[in-house]
Amino acid sequence: MTVTKIIDQARSEKRTVLTEIEAKQILLEAGIGCTKTKLASTKEQAVSLCEEFGYPVVLKISSVDITHKSDAGGVKVNLKDKTEMEAAFDEIMTSCRAKFPDANIEGISVQKMAKPGIEVIIGMTKDPSFGPVLMFGLGGVFVEVLKDVAFRIVPLEKVDASEMIEEIKGKKLLEGYRGQDPADIPCLEEMLLKLSAFIDGTPGIQEIDMNPVFAYKEGAVVVDARIILEKA
Ligand code: ADP
Ligand code: MG
């Protein structure tokens, strides 16, 4: 229900890019856990959302015209109280307006600060010959520099999900490296399967990027998400 509504809304605005807030709403609907995220159009709204969520919080620019939020100075994490949060709100606005003077800024998204975990990425792209393909990998330098990722064609079987996680070179990092907690691999497999089922049942989506997902000893949570629709 929510999914169709969000997609229709974007279509009516002739948009193919969904905001992080919309993307997370869709993923939640697909059964994939995301950090609590809501839009604040004003600083006053941000203050009351932070009171609702509890500190520490994360603020991020919300604009379909700004893809790489950190590069624009549009992400401030671990804000511990109202003073820090209000200062961050202004800094984000100033930096993003300077770097993207033409961007249509919807507001600032207020999020619960997720506790640190092992960073992984999960994505979907549509291949012209194979159709939707899922990707799994370790986040950060592992994907950017080492291209340590695994791919499978949708729909995934249970065995595909476990093989994808099994075959990345950095697998050991998920098993608890040097005293670090291991990642909840069954939960990551479940996320892959849920994403596959969702894509299989939802036409019109071109691309999904969950980067990063924080994986914990128990559970995992999507911290940043991006969805692009197919051209109408
Ligand atoms: P970008 O558009 O630059 O990819 P992200 O939303 O991924 O922006 O934020 C950049 C980084 O900030 C993330 O990789 C993550 O490490 C951290 N981060 C973002 N949101 C949260 C959150 N809710 N809780 C904890 N850390 C976060
Ligand atoms: Mg990101």
Same structural domain, 11 and 70:
yes
Q: Domain boundary at 91, 112, 133, which?
A: 112
**CA–CA distances in Å: residue 76 to residues 61, 101, 109, 212:** 9, 20, 11, 15
Same structural domain, 108 and 124:
no
Lowest mean pLDDT, pick from 4-13, 63-72, 170-179: 170-179
Q: Domain boundary at 68, 87, 112, which?
A: 112
Query: Look-up: residue for tokens 């914990």?
Result: 216
**Which residue ranges have their beta carbon within 6 Å of ligand 1?**
35, 58, 60, 68-70, 75, 77, 111, 113-114, 212, 223-224
Same structural domain, 83 and 156:
no
pLDDT value, residue 146: 76
Ligand found nearest the CA of 115: 1
Same structural domain, 217 and 196:
yes
Q: Domain boundary at 94, 112, 130, which?
A: 112
Same structural domain, 217 and 123:
yes
Expressed as residue numbers, the domain containing 192 is: 118-229
Distance CA 15, CA 46 (A): 26
- Whichever domain contains 56, its CATH number is 3.30.1490.20
Taking phi over 0 as left and psi of -120 to 50 as alpha, with beta for the rest, 10 belongs to: alpha
Same structural domain, 47 and 106:
yes
- For residue 121, the CA-to-ligand 2 centroid distance in Å is 9
Same structural domain, 132 and 106:
no
> In the predicted model, is pLDDT for residue 151 greater than 70?
yes
User: How many domains is the chain built from?
Assistant: 2
- Whichever domain contains 219, its CATH number is 3.30.470.20
- For residue 96, the CA-to-ligand 2 centroid distance in Å is 16
Distance CA 108, CA 117 (A): 24
- For residue 220, the CA-to-ligand 2 centroid distance in Å is 16
Mean pLDDT estimate for the chain: 96
- For residue 77, the CA-to-ligand 2 centroid distance in Å is 13
> In the predicted model, is pLDDT for residue 140 greater than 80?
no
Distance CA 153, CA 205 (A): 15
Per-residue pLDDT band at 232 (split at 50, 70, 90) = confident
Distance CA 23, CA 34 (A): 10
pLDDT value, residue 1: 67
Same structural domain, 130 and 191:
yes
> In the predicted model, is pLDDT for residue 77 greater than 70?
yes
Residues above pLDDT 90, as percent of the chain: 92
Mean pLDDT of 129-148: 87
